[in-house]
């Protein structure tokens, strides 16, 4: 187990009706003016925004709103938000929505004290001191941004989608009311779950050796999601299924599922995030691509390409998630070479994972996401801008490898 430093200071308020406790909780934490960020209308239609604002009013907290944030959020509204936040002098940015809204809130929070253009911060400018606190009312479990130190923003002009390259202050409060997720369309539910599974797997397939405690947390989260997701899809108002999925999304990405698997001394992050790197190009070039749906295609393609680097790791994954073991070549009546037994087990594992994604409504191919072979050079160009000529940890990938993975997923 490698050394790590881990701090997850977010306060979680979880359960039925916690949406109505936003005002009192913020007031007792001493906040006076919330800058409320939301998306393209779901929280208006479902009444969630109204409940949050009423709760702020009751608690005597002033508020200003900025809506219209799209999925795969763009830097333009972040710039608008920074201007507004400075004008109103808010002391908290409150996201009401999913990863796109929370990441916009985080970018505003870190951009307020920065004198230059906020996009600089995504391209290497140092983190400014004194970023504003962020809280969220989560409406879609997926990105895990409610407790993560990261945020991801797209710059349409440059066709670049980037994570911020330093740890942000994590959100101070996360309100997690599973009933808010009853209204999610099945596709968004499934894409969210695919993203969570990907967050766990990026860490599981780091370059570190086995870390039994963390590996058990990781595979336990995935097994739970495989069980609960069909229940939530069959009955969108199944509270327990929704609640388990919501909490799994947080556990998948706050860092717990990778502790001890990091390869940077004392760091808390683990893994090379290869599939996320490959996917971010898809949603950067076409904002209609849902992040989790892109991952459901890319991750199995990456696995098929790299597994020979460490077959043992893939065998552990297959055994602990799906109960798949290589057949014993020495057993009576078995006529198979040891290498073939491993190949069969790993192939069955990846097939099983991909079948799960497809069974919950996710695409199998890039074609289903509207990506064509002709677009691959453009994806590789921005991938190289973001990652350099080689990237990854489990297996170092060149741009030729990235091309092969994209092509294998067409």
- Where along the sequence are the contacts to ligand NZQ (CB under 6 A)? 39-43, 46, 71-72, 97-101, 103, 139-140, 142-145, 148, 150-152, 180-181, 183-184, 188, 192, 195, 253, 276, 291-292
Nearest residue (CB) to ligand NZQ, 184 versus 402: 184
Please tell me the chain's helix, strand, coil percentages from 3-state DSSP, rounded to the nearest 5: 55, 10, 35
CB of 181 to ligand NZQ, least distance (A): 5
CB of 78 to ligand NZQ, least distance (A): 12
Do the beta carbons of residue 241 and residue 192 sit within 8 Å? Answer: no
CB of 185 to ligand NZQ, least distance (A): 6
Question: Of Zn ion, ligand NZQ, none, which one does residue 180 interact with (CB within 5 to 8 Å by kind)?
Answer: ligand NZQ
Nearest residue (CB) to ligand NZQ, 42 versus 229: 42
CB of 276 to ligand NZQ, least distance (A): 6
Helix, coil or strand: residue 343: helix
Question: Of ligand NZQ, Zn ion, none, which one does residue 219 interact with (CB within 5 to 8 Å by kind)?
Answer: none
C-alpha to C-alpha distance for 213 and 243, rounded to whole angstroms:
24
CB of 201 to Zn ion, least distance (A): 11
Question: Of ligand NZQ, Zn ion, none, which one does residue 39 interact with (CB within 5 to 8 Å by kind)?
Answer: ligand NZQ
123, two tokens: 């391209």
Helix, coil or strand: residue 9: coil
C-alpha to C-alpha distance for 402 and 384, rounded to whole angstroms:
10
Question: Of ligand NZQ, Zn ion, none, which one does residue 139 interact with (CB within 5 to 8 Å by kind)?
Answer: ligand NZQ
Is the CA virtual torsion 345, 347, 348, 352 positive or negative? positive
Do the beta carbons of residue 214 and residue 259 sit within 8 Å? Answer: yes
DSSP state of 74: B
CB of 290 to ligand NZQ, least distance (A): 7
Q: Which residues bind Zn ion (CB under 5 A)?
A: 195
Nearest residue (CB) to ligand NZQ, 151 versus 345: 151
Q: What end-to-end distance do the CA atoms of the chain give, in Å?
A: 38
Nearest residue (CB) to Zn ion, 195 versus 215: 195
Is the CA virtual torsion 348, 349, 354, 359 positive or negative? positive
Do the beta carbons of residue 289 and residue 280 sit within 8 Å? Answer: no
Nearest residue (CB) to Zn ion, 55 versus 354: 354
Nearest residue (CB) to ligand NZQ, 163 versus 329: 163
Task: Report the half-sphere exposure of 376 (CA within 13 A, side-chain side).
Answer: 17
CB of 287 to ligand NZQ, least distance (A): 9
Do the beta carbons of residue 291 and residue 191 sit within 8 Å? Answer: yes
Question: Of Zn ion, ligand NZQ, none, which one does residue 136 interact with (CB within 5 to 8 Å by kind)?
Answer: none
Question: Of Zn ion, ligand NZQ, none, which one does residue 93 interact with (CB within 5 to 8 Å by kind)?
Answer: none
CB of 194 to Zn ion, least distance (A): 9
Nearest residue (CB) to ligand NZQ, 104 versus 354: 104
Question: Of Zn ion, ligand NZQ, none, which one does residue 111 interact with (CB within 5 to 8 Å by kind)?
Answer: none
Q: Which residue has the tokens 């895990």?
A: 144
C-alpha to C-alpha distance for 218 and 221, rounded to whole angstroms:
5
Do the beta carbons of residue 133 and residue 172 sit within 8 Å? Answer: yes
Nearest residue (CB) to ligand NZQ, 63 versus 291: 291
Nearest residue (CB) to ligand NZQ, 137 versus 346: 137
Question: Of ligand NZQ, Zn ion, none, which one does residue 294 interact with (CB within 5 to 8 Å by kind)?
Answer: none
C-alpha to C-alpha distance for 166 and 305, rounded to whole angstroms:
30
Question: Of ligand NZQ, Zn ion, none, which one does residue 43 interact with (CB within 5 to 8 Å by kind)?
Answer: ligand NZQ
C-alpha to C-alpha distance for 171 and 313, rounded to whole angstroms:
33
Question: Of ligand NZQ, Zn ion, none, which one does residue 309 interact with (CB within 5 to 8 Å by kind)?
Answer: none
Residue 338's nearest CA partner among 360, 317, 311, 320 is: 311
Do the beta carbons of residue 400 and residue 305 sit within 8 Å? Answer: no
CB of 76 to ligand NZQ, least distance (A): 15
Burial letters 327-349, b for 16+ CB under 10 A, else e: eeeeeeeeeeeeeebbbebbbeb
Nearest residue (CB) to Zn ion, 55 versus 254: 254
CB of 73 to ligand NZQ, least distance (A): 6
């Amino acid at each position: 187990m490698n050394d790590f430093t881990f701090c997850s200071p977010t306060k979680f308020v979880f359960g039925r009706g916690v949406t109505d406790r936003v005002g009192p909780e913020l007031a007792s934490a001493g906040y006076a003016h919330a800058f409320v960020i939301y998306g393209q209308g779901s929280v208006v239609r479902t009444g969630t925004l109204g409940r949050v604002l009423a709760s702020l009013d009751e608690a005597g907290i002033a508020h200003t709103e900025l809506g219209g944030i799209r999925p795969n959020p763009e830097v333009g509204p972040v710039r608008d938000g920074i201007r507004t936040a400075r004008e109103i002098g808010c002391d908290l940015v409150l996201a009401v929505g999913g990863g796109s809204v929370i990441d916009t809130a985080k970018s505003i929070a870190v951009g307020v004290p920065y004198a230059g253009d906020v996009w600089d911060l995504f391209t290497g400018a140092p983190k400014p001191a004194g970023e504003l606190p962020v809280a969220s009312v989560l409406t879609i479990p997926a990105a895990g941004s409610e407790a993560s130190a990261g945020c991801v923003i797209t710059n349409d002009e440059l066709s670049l989608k980037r994570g911020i390259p330093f740890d942000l202050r994590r959100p101070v409060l996360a309100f997690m009311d599973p009933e808010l997720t009853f209204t999610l369309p099945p596709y968004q539910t499934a894409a969210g779950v695919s993203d969570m599974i990907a967050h766990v797997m990026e860490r599981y397939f780091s370059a570190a050796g086995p870390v039994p405690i963390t590996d058990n947390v990781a595979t336990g989260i995935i097994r739970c999601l495989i069980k609960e997701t069909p229940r939530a899809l069959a009955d969108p108002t199944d509270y327990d299924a929704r609640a388990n999925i919501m909490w799994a999304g947080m556990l998948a990405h706050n860092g717990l599922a990778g502790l001890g698997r990091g390869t940077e001394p004392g760091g808390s992050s683990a893994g090379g995030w290869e599939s996320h790197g490959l996917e971010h190009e898809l949603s950067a070039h076409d904002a209609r691509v849902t992040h989790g749906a892109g991952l459901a295609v890319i991750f199995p393609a990456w696995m098929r390409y790299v597994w020979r680097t460490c077959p043992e790791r893939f065998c552990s994954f297959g055994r602990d998630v799906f109960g798949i073991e290589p057949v014993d070549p020495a057993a009576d009546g078995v006529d198979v070479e040891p290498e073939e037994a491993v190949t069969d087990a790993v192939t069955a594992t990846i097939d099983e994972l991909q079948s799960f994604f497809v069974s919950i409504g996710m695409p199998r191919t890039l074609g289903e996401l509207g990506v064509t072979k002709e677009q691959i050079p453009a994806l590789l160009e921005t991938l190289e801008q973001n990652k350099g000529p080689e990237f990854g940890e489990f297996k170092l990938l060149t741009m030729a490898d990235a091309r092969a993975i994209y092509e294998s997923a067409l």
